[in-house]
Amino acid sequence: MFKAILKPESLIAAAMMGFAAYLMWHATVLPIGWDGARGPGGGAFPFWLSAIMFVATGGVFLRSVLSGVRAEDMKPFFEPGMLGPVLAATLALGLTILLMPIIGAYLAIPLFMLWYLRFFGRNVWTVTLALSLTTPVVLFFFFEVALLILLPKGITEPLFFPLYAMFF
């Protein structure tokens, strides 16, 4: 039974359950119930989505533990050749997150996408540029205009003042 808990899928499911529990706890800072005329509280969607994630990963964890241990379950999680690309993508994503408060989400995300699509994924320039340039526009309209959620802008914030005047 203990070996079944140490299987990679069991460990990842347990970590995801812990993360979901943290998100649920963090979402309770805002109201999670229904507020009469206004609808769900600000923490309702994060809380309930995290609860669904907790239940789903709990199912994966139980299935993994109850299925026992087979020889192929204890093979290395990553093939040796895959560790480099996974680390490269993880470091690039971490750099993107670090750059967001400095240069803003609307520059950091397209730069990551440009690197990931063209140089890491080896896509053609037309696909790379189309996705890298349209994504920040879609993100702006979805988050800032539709949901009224401001994303970090960093040094680019003065460029958004005319857009704010148009939409707000």
DSSP state at residue 33: S
- 34: buried, middle or exposed (CB in 10 Å: 19+, 13-18, 0-12)? exposed
**What's the pLDDT band for 137 if we cut at 50, 70, 90?**
very high
40's enclosing H/E stretch is: strand 39-40
Three-class SS state of 4:
helix
- Name every residue whose Cβ is closer than 8 Å to that of residue 55 and which is 6 or more positions away in sequence: none
Residue type, 84: G
**pTM summary value:** 0.65
In the chain, which residue ranges form alpha helices assigned H by DSSP? 2-5, 8-27, 44-66, 83-103, 105-114, 125-139, 161-167
The average pLDDT across 67-90 equals 79
pLDDT of residue 56: 97
Tell me, rounded to whole angstroms, the distance of Cα 74 from its chain centroid: 28
**What's the pLDDT band for 101 if we cut at 50, 70, 90?**
very high
